[in-house]
Amino acid sequence: MASSGEQALIRKVKKGDLDAYGAIVQDYQSSVFNVCCRILGNRQEAEDLTQEAFLRAFHQIASFDLSRPFGPWMRTVAANLCYNHLKRSRLNRVPLEDERDTIKDNTIYGPEGALEINQEHQALYRAIWELPDMQRIALELRHFQGLSYKEMAHALNLPLNTVRSHLYRGRQKLAELLEEKNE
Amino acid sequence: MNKGTEHISNDILQAYLDQDLNQTELQKVKIHLNQCPTCREELTRLESVLTKLESLPVLKLEKDLTSSVLTQLREESKLSQGITWTLLLEALSAGTVISLLIPAVRAAAWLPELADTHAEIRAAVNIFLTQLASSWLVWWAGWQLNIKQTAKSLSSTIFFPGSEFSPWILILAAGGIGILANYILLRSNPIRSRNHKF
* Cβ neighbours of B140 (radius 10 Å): 12
Same domain as B183, residue B87: yes
- Shared domain check, B107 and B169: yes
Q: Using the beta-carbon criterion (under 8 Å), do A175 and B49 form an inter-chain contact?
A: yes
Distance of alpha carbon A52 from the chain centroid: 12
% of chain A at pLDDT higher than 90 = 49
Is the same domain home to B84 and B115?
yes
Please indicate, yes or no, if residue B4 is contained in any of the structural domains: no
B60: in domain: no
Domain A4-182, second-level architecture: Orthogonal Bundle (1.10)
Residue B107: count other Cβ atoms within 10 Å of its Cβ. 12
Cα A160 from Cα A152, distance rounded (Å):
8
Whole-complex ipTM: 0.77
What per-residue confidence (pLDDT) applies to A77?
93
| Residue numbers in chain B where pLDDT is lower than 50 | 2-4, 193-194, 196-198
All structural domains of chain A with their residue ranges:
4-182
Does any domain span residue B198? no
User: Which residues in chain B touch residue A71, judged by CB atoms under 8 angstroms apart?
Assistant: none
Q: Is residue B177 part of a domain?
A: yes
Measured between beta carbons, the chain B residues lying within 8 angstroms of A55 are 69, 72-73, 76
Assess whether B21 and B94 both reside in one domain. Answer: no
Contact B94, B102 (CB under 8 A): no
The mean pLDDT value for A159-180 works out to 92
Going A139 to A142 to A145 to A147, the CA torsion angle's sign is: positive
Q: How many domains does the structure of chain B reveal?
A: 2
* B62 found inside a domain: no
Residue B5 DSSP symbol: S
Identity of residue B90: E
Mean pLDDT of the region A123-128 = 89
User: Chain B partners of A175 at a C-beta cutoff of 8 Å?
Assistant: 45-46, 48-49
- Strand (E) or helix (H) holding A182: helix A160-182
Do B42 and B92 belong to one domain?
no
B89 and B153 in a common domain: yes
Q: Is residue B130 part of a domain?
A: yes
Choose the mutation target among A15, A24, A29, A74 for the interface with B, i.e. most B CBs under 10 Å.
Answer: A29
Domain shared by B72 and B41, yes or no: no
DSSP one-letter string for B147-159: HHHHHHHHHT-SS
- B181 shares a domain with B87: yes
CB neighbour class for A36 (10 Å; exposed up to 12, middle 13-18, buried from 19): buried
Quote the radius of gyration of chain B (alpha carbons, Å).
36
Residue of B nearest to A146 (CA): B18
Domain extent at residue B122: 67-188
Partner-chain contact B58 A31, CB within 8 Å: yes
pLDDT for res A175: 92
Domain assignment of residue B196, yes or no? no
Classify residue B157 as left (phi > 0), alpha (psi -120 to 50) or beta: beta
Return the DSSP state at A107.
G
| Residue A99: per-residue pLDDT | 44
* Residue B170 near residue B95, CB atoms below 8 Å: no
